[in-house]
Each structure stands twice: as structure tokens, then as C-alpha cells.
Structure 1
Amino acid sequence: MSSEYLFSFKTIQSNVIKTLGEALKEILTDANISFNKSGVKICAMDATQTVLVHLKLDADNFEEYECNKSSVIGINMQNLFKLLKTMTNNDTLFWGIKKDDVNFLIIKIYNNDKNITNTFKLPLLDLDNINITIPPAEFDSIITLPSSDFQKICRDMHNISDTIEICNAGNLLYFKCDGCIAQQETIMGGSSDDIGLQFVKQSDDKIIQGYYNLKHLVMFTKCTNLCNTIELYMKNDFPIVIKFQVGSLGTLKLAIAPKIND
């Protein structure tokens, strides 16, 4: 790739990046995106300071990736998605910042079938670069389940309540809510034939549970199309972490603090 750029990448996974952009704009208004030789990273809190976003896309997973200088760029996520949503599944996506034009992100969308190239210049923002330190944590439960199932449960329960209880006891996973119009309980597991449900790590001697804001979890489920399965990381009195695979580019982890249930 041309050395006229401080950094640049090209990927054929345009639909993955578009889905990612659609999800992140619901959580973050503005965000700093870091680029270095290892890849692309976002580590940011939402406006309520209850949701943590940790995105890591590995340089080796792009069709082309060049980083001549580590950079941090400020982006308005709504404006970024307005450009990304013009992509189709067959497009190739290019991002870069030119050495002689560092105030703009260059986005190129190639459609090789029609021999069309769209080029955008997105103005960058000067945002405070807040260093977020994530302490290491040992989770008591790690559970893999179909992302579509998790999406449906969260959406259905959001019609009833603002809060969901997620509980792991042995080889059972419970989702519960209690609203003005109804109560709902959904139980997953309990059989060796469970399709898509896997308890990677579980505690046989204690119950792992927490109460969480359904509005945030429904926003998270906009990431559903990124991957077929998600991983839940659970620990009592600790944020729940939901891990998505971003196509084959990397991972997205979303953490939400538990609600204090009165």
C-alpha cells in the first residue's frame, strides 16, 4: 500500500464493518479509534458511564494493513455510520489518513462488479484521550449461546420490563423479568442435546446472577449479525461481559454494570 498514508487498511468484510458501525453508534456518540501496528482498537465508556466498549481488530486479518505511525483519531459515530450504510455486501472498504491531510479520515468504497469507487473525507474530532484501565478478572461462569436467541429474549422481555435478571445455576441459564403487565422466565439448558448452548466454565456450588438494564442489552443485540454465537462472562457483583466475534477481523466486548435491585 502507498506510504502517503500514516495508516490505512482494506477489507472485503464491508457488511461486518457496517453492522459494527450501526451497533456502536447506539452506544457511543463520539469515540477515539486507535491504530497501531497490531491493529485497530476502541476502548470507551458510554455517556452514562455504565457501559464499556472494547473493540480489537487484528492487523493480520485485513486484506491490507499499513501503519507507519501509531495514531488516535476522534470520530462522530453517527456521521461515520451515515457513510458506512451506503456499502453493499460485495463492496471493498478502505480507510486511511494521509500524511499531508491529517484532519480527515479518507473512506473509499469500491464496487468491483460495477467498477464504481466512492471516496469520502470525514472530518476528525479533537477528543480527550481518556486512558481506561481494565483490571484482570476471574469470571465464575462463561457461557456460549446463539446470538439470535439472546437477541429474542432481550427484545421480548423489554416489552415487559426495564430490567432483566440473568442467572446461572449449574447447567441452567435463567432469564427473568417482572413488569407491570406480566412476569416472564426463560430457561435454557439442562440437556446434553442443547443446541448452541455450552457452559465453558460454571460453578457447581454457587449461583451466579445479576440484574441489568434491558435498554442497554437491546442496544447490544444490534451486534447479533456479527456472529452466530456470543459468550457471556458472569461474576456476582461484577459487570456482565458479552463477547462478539467481528466476522474474522477480531472481537468486540461489551460490559454493563449490574443494577442495584431494591
Structure 2
Amino acid sequence: MLEARVKQASVLKKLLDAIKELVTDGNLDCTDEGIALQAMDNSHVALVSLKLAAEQFESYRCDRNMPLGVNLTSLTKILKCAKDNDVVTLKAADDADSLGLVFESPKEDRVGEYEMKLMDIDQEHLGIPDTQYDATITMSSAEFQRICRDLGALGESVKIEASKEGVRFSCEGEVGNGSVLLKQSAGRDAGGASGSGAKKPKRDPDEENEVAEGQEVDEEQEDEKPIVDEEGEDEQEDEEEEVKPKKRKSNGKAAAKPAKKGKTAAAADDSDVGVSIILEKQVSLTFSLKYLSNFAKSAPLAKEVSLNMSNDVPLLVQFEFEQGSLQFFLAPKISDE
């Protein structure tokens, strides 16, 4: 029996959006280690490998190994019935011919139960050898998606060159030519430094002058004590009590302004992933932009993507996220020369 509980339906939705255009049918291989899916596209050019670790589920139980043949288009339609923050439970009995899906709201005040018919899919499981790649590029997944989209407007193929200069994406098409060069950066290191700096935000000079002037005025008011007779002492004390709370409020507002700026700066630095390049040997390969654009649809799953390249070896595009990993393998285009 299988019973797997996913904390948020949005995770499954993003996964299916990333692979549904490459793979239509596939086996969900359920074991005590988790759920895996491996399938090739119809052209046998790209390979998809998905792994969801058992310990990353809210609860997971799988009594024996079982393949669940599913149509990803049908599964996508059923998952649309769930809200993004719903808890999803996948259920399947031994030798079952259907997969049960239970959608439960966080407040447990709404429960939806659905069943999807399973398929008998005769599919070979390919062994993926461990490869020592000549170049490994780690970059922002959003930037990777943007590059694929922009160059896709020019042509059908992109040449990826990794060198000491950086990594260059270049495209030649009927419309024109274009290239994007990404150089090695320390975005993640800079983000850590800025995070500590956010605790002590800097004040603007104008704000410091305003605070200093306010303090001087307060001191002058304290020094200038009005001369009053004994009958007016009570009235004077009442007026001072009314003035003091107002001063405290104004000082509190002045101190709060720079704190907001510090938080904004820290959030901006966290979003800057940067580019990391590990280069053993210079690599230059050409790939189909159609497939890379499909791979880039996984960007909502993870902030980073790694491109692993070696000459005459399929490209490995890998997304690591909290629940597991999603890998795409793409064969390079053979040069006509």
C-alpha cells in the first residue's frame, strides 16, 4: 500500500507544469526511499528524471515497490481541483487499478476525494552513469529562463560556451544574432555579507540632521524654564505631561525609518543568486532552444539551476528543491561541419 502526504499542492502543480509538455505518460516508481519518475520524450532526445525523497513528505508509507502508470495530462487536470495550499494525499492499494487523491484544506474544513485510472506502461528504466563534467555552471533559474526566452525569439538553437571568461549563450537565426555573457560572480557571498549589514542600517544624512536638530530643540526647551507663580505650577505640570508623549512618538517614528530600508536591502540581496563556474576544460556545445525553454519552466521550483557540460556528452540541467530534485538530460546537436 502507498500513502504519501504532500504539504502543499503547489509543489506537485509546478512539477507537472515543468514536465507535462515533454512527457505524456510515465511510471511513478514508488519505493520505501520515495517516488521517482524517469521518462524520455517522444523524439528520444531528452530524458526526464524526477526524485522525491521519502523523508521530505509530511508522511510517507510504501509497503512494497510498485509502479503507478499515470497520464500526466489527466493528473494535471485533477490537481487543478486543489488549491495551492491544500494538503495532498496520494493513495494506492497493492495491485490497484486507480490512484486516489485527497485534497484537504489547511483548516480541515474542506476535503475533496478523487480517483484516477492507472495505465499499464511498458517502460525500461535507464541507468544514468556518474559523469565527471568538464564545466558546471550554477546560476539563477529565473535568469536561465529569461535567456532561453529572449534567444528563442531569434533562432532555434543556442551555443553554450564555458571558458575562463565566463559562460556565453549565443544564437544565430533568420531574424538576427544575439548573445549573452555571464561572468563569474560572488552573488551568494555578497548576499551573506549584506544580511549581517542589514542589522545596522545606515541613516540618510538629512534624517540624521533632523534628529540632531530635534534633540537640540528639546535641550533648549528643558533649559528655558518658565517663571511661574505658585498658583500656576499645577497648570504648568499638566502641560508638560501632555507634551512628553508627543515627543516620544515623534522620536519613535524617526528611529523606525532606517530600519525599513535595512529590511528592503536584505530582501534584494537574498534574491541575487549570482553565477558560479567550475571549469576543468573549455566546453562548447549547441542545443535546441525548444527543449531548454521547456526545462526552464522548472524555474518556480528552485532559485538556482546547474548546467553540467562535457564535450560529446548530454547536457545535465538540474533543479534542486526542498522535496527532491528534477534532472533533464539533453543530447547536443551534431555540427554539420
Tell me the TM-score normalised to structure 2 length: 0.72
2-structure distance, mates of 1:114, 1:157: 46
Matches within 5 A, 1:157-176: 157-176=151-170
Matches within 5 A, 1:171-186: 171-186=165-180
Q: Check whether the contact 1:143–1:197 (CA below 8 A) recurs between aligned residues.
A: no
**Match of residue 308 from structure 2:** 233
88-97 or 32-41, larger mean C-alpha shift: 88-97
Query: 1:9 offset after TM fit, Å?
Result: 0.4
Quickly say closer, same or farther: Cα 1:249–1:163, change in 2 above 3 A.
same
1-structure distance, mates of 2:278, 2:66: 37
Q: What code does the residue aligned with 1:96 have?
A: K
Given the alignment of the two structures, is residue 221 of structure 1 paired with residue 296 of structure 2, yes or no? yes
2-structure distance, mates of 1:227, 1:160: 27
**Correspondence for 1:27 among 19, 22, 27:** 22
1-structure distance, mates of 2:296, 2:70: 22
Q: What code does the residue aligned with 2:127 have?
A: T
Given the alignment of the two structures, is residue 136 of structure 1 paired with residue 213 of structure 2, yes or no? no
**Match of residue 285 from structure 2:** 210
1-structure distance, mates of 2:320, 2:177: 32
Give 1 or 2: higher strand fraction: 1
Partner SS state of residue 26, structure 1 = coil
- Across the aligned residues of Structure 1 and Structure 2, the Cα RMSD in angstroms comes to 1.6
Query: 1:117 offset after TM fit, Å?
Result: 1.1
Q: Check whether the contact 2:186–2:274 (CA below 8 A) recurs between aligned residues.
A: no
Matches within 5 A, 1:1-262: 6-99=1-94, 102-113=96-107, 115-192=109-186, 195-199=272-276, 201-203=278-280, 206-246=281-321, 248-262=322-336
Query: 1:225 offset after TM fit, Å?
Result: 0.1
1-structure distance, mates of 2:123, 2:157: 32
Quickly say closer, same or farther: Cα 1:8–1:171, change in 2 above 3 A.
farther
Query: 1:113 offset after TM fit, Å?
Result: 3.4
> In the comparison of the two structures, how many residue pairs are matched?
253
Quickly say closer, same or farther: Cα 1:181–1:53, change in 2 above 3 A.
same
**What is the percentage of aligned positions where both structures have the same residue?**
29
Q: Check whether the contact 2:184–2:275 (CA below 8 A) recurs between aligned residues.
A: no
Give 1 or 2: higher helix fraction: 2
**Match of residue 3 from structure 1:** none
Dislocated runs of 4+, deviation >4 Å: 190-195
Q: What code does the residue aligned with 2:306 have?
A: E
Q: What code does the residue aligned with 1:89 have?
A: D
Partner SS state of residue 132, structure 1 = coil
Provide structure 2 residue ranges, at least 5 long, that are not aligned to the other structure.
189-271
1-structure distance, mates of 2:112, 2:302: 28
Partner SS state of residue 5, structure 2 = strand
2-structure distance, mates of 1:40, 1:224: 21
